[in-house]
Amino acid sequence: MTDPSLHPAAEAAAARPRTLFDKIWDAHTVKTLEDGRDLLFVDRHILQETTSAQAFENLARAGRKVRHPDLTVATQDHIVSTRPGRDEDTNPGGRELLGLMRTNTAANGIRHFGVDDPRQGIVHVMGPETGFALPGCLLTCGDSHTSTVGGLGAVGLGVGTSEVEHVLATQTLAMARPLTMRVTFNGVPGPGVSAKDLILHMIGELGFASGRGCAVEYAGPAIRALPVEGRLTVCNMSIEFGARLGLIAPDEATIDYVRGREFAPTGGAFDRAVAEWLRLHSDSDARFGRDFTIDCWRIAPQVTWGTSPQDVAGVDKAVPDPARFADAKRRELAAAALRYMGLEPGMPLEGIPIDVAFIGSCTNARLSDLIAAAAVARGRKVAPNVRALVVPGSMSVKRDAEALGLHRVFLDAGFEWRDAGCSMCVSINEDVVPPGARCMATSNRNFENRQGPRSRTHLASPAMVAAAAIRGRITDVRKETAA
């Protein structure tokens, strides 16, 4: 039986098996434009201070208004001081942009969770934890790691400032439909292996440009077994292999996570939402443009040795010899990376001394990350030559951690216990790695100069960074937990 009201093309589309990504994308397509791009409705928009000032300025210059101020929220995260008790003036270098954020949002009727608000935090931490980001929604933010919300089963699109302006003015985004890709994680990861290790390992296996142009769905038992915070970590790093976004189908764990959050629907509306969220999964016969499998059994805790996230290995391995890469370009890149990092081929990764340990960022500064780090740090001391920082991803994470007494664990061990912000992930506030110093970090980028001029970055999980802080050198956390 066919429904006569259905146009034949629409009927065919409805019958065609679709991926999770297709379902969300289709539901948000206002229309397809003449140039082939889709005009997408943006349900949720988050602003951060370093990519929005220009957008408001252009908007005002063109005499345009914010169309749906209630569908946007703003926070201050990148350039805020993380000194405990800080305010907008603590980091003088941040004053201008922080002030602009406050005045621009006030002038346009947009809710602003600035440093004086209990909800302040890194956009990608604050979005899910306030319930502003929801499963099945399409969310944009002027920040590349917006893909983080994919961990809830949302489409998160990182955009530039012109597009921030476009969303403010029209509540839409014009974009070509990405290709689809799926990565299935099979098996059960061993002890000491976290969500961060899974995604770092995957980027090492597939290469750092392997996701370009793609919407990537993460699937398989190892992904299903991850708590929602771990899924946010995995989707966060989609950007580090070039993907446009990453996402994971919502399930009971997702629903439990969302329930009761400030902006989440309540009562009957919540039930209607849940009914829809549970339909958000790829049809069993849906086809993906590309399909990969990762075996999780043998993944060791990961640590990067170079200046690209694909320069990664198990902590029990040695710094690779660039000459052994088959690809000539990769050989060159790896050799340059080792020169920058001050490492020699064949050196065991374990034992490389560090100067700074950074636990923070939108990748790994949620409560579960701090719990994992505290488990390693408890009752021990940071090595004397190491500066170690814990920067919670949001003030809400900070309060929750303090309720569990984690701040005592960190402070007693000699870690700094700071206020929320991006901090040493991007180092545009005053948290900077000194020139030539080596930092073990839970963030997502190990580019040259990222954490400060000539800074050297090793990416790893929170437990691994805590272990390195204690030992003063890169350490296999599996040995620590066994001890």
Partner 1 sequence: MRTPLSTVSGVLAVLPETNVNTDAIIPSAWLRTAKADLARGLFGARRFDEDGRERPGFVLNQGPFRTAKFLLSGENFGCGSSREAAVWALAQFGIRCVFAPSFADIFYENAFRNGVLAGIVDEATGAALAAAVERHCDAPDFTVDLPAGVIVDPDGHRHAFTVPPHRAAALIRGDDDIDLTLRHLDDIDGYFSAAKRDRDWLYTPTTDTRRQTP
Which residues within the stretch 68-127 sit at the binding site for partner 1 (CB under 8 A)? 70-71, 73, 79, 93-94, 96-97, 100, 111, 117-118
Sign of the torsion angle spanned by Cα atoms 372, 154, 214, 188: positive
Judged by beta carbon, residue 41 or residue 325, the one nearer partner 1 is: 41
**Which of ligand SF4, partner 1, none interacts with 70 (beta carbon under 5 to 8 A by kind)?**
partner 1
Q: What is the DSSP string of 79-112?
A: S---STT--TTSSGGGHHHHHHHHHHHHHHT-EE
Distance CA 136, CA 426 (A): 30
**Which of ligand SF4, partner 1, none interacts with 122 (beta carbon under 5 to 8 A by kind)?**
ligand SF4
**Which of partner 1, ligand SF4, none interacts with 362 (beta carbon under 5 to 8 A by kind)?**
ligand SF4
Judged by beta carbon, residue 22 or residue 350, the one nearer partner 1 is: 22
- Contacts to partner 1 from residues 337-396, by CB under 8 A: none
Instruction: Confirm or reject binding of residue 65 to partner 1 (CB under 8 A).
Output: no
Judged by beta carbon, residue 134 or residue 222, the one nearer partner 1 is: 134
- What radius of gyration, in Å, describes the C-alpha atoms of the chain? 22
8 Å CB contact between 354 and 341: no
Instruction: Confirm or reject binding of residue 44 to ligand SF4 (CB under 6 A).
Output: no
| Angle, alpha carbons 87-88-92 (nearest 5°) | 115
Instruction: Confirm or reject binding of residue 144 to partner 1 (CB under 8 A).
Output: yes
Count of positions on this chain that bind partner 1 (CB under 8 A): 80
**Which of partner 1, ligand SF4, none interacts with 422 (beta carbon under 5 to 8 A by kind)?**
ligand SF4
Show the binding pattern over residues 258-297: x = contacts ligand SF4 (CB under 6 A), - = does not: ----------------------------------------
Q: For the chain, how many helices (H) and strands (E)?
A: 17, 19
Instruction: Confirm or reject binding of residue 272 to partner 1 (CB under 8 A).
Output: yes
8 Å CB contact between 136 and 255: no
Distance CA 232, CA 199 (A): 11
Count of positions on this chain that bind ligand SF4 (CB under 6 A): 14
- Contacts to ligand SF4 from residues 54-83, by CB under 6 A: 77-78
Judged by beta carbon, residue 78 or residue 473, the one nearer ligand SF4 is: 78
> Which of 98, 200, 296, 425 lies at the binding interface for ligand SF4 (CB under 6 A)?
425
Tokens of 231: 């899924």
- Contacts to ligand SF4 from residues 426-445, by CB under 6 A: 426, 443-444
User: Which residue do the tokens 């970055």 mark?
Assistant: 457
Distance CA 371, CA 326 (A): 40
The closest alpha carbon to 378, from 483, 476, 457, belongs to: 483
H/E run at residue 65: none
Q: How near is the Cβ of 376 to partner 1 at its closest, in Å? A: 29
Contacts of 450 (CB under 8 A, 6+ apart): 426, 427, 457
Q: How near is the Cβ of 44 to ligand SF4 at its closest, in Å? A: 16
**Which of partner 1, ligand SF4, none interacts with 444 (beta carbon under 5 to 8 A by kind)?**
ligand SF4
The closest alpha carbon to 458, from 470, 471, 475, belongs to: 475
Residues that bind ligand SF4 (CB under 6 A): 77-78, 122-124, 143, 145, 361-362, 422, 425-426, 443-444
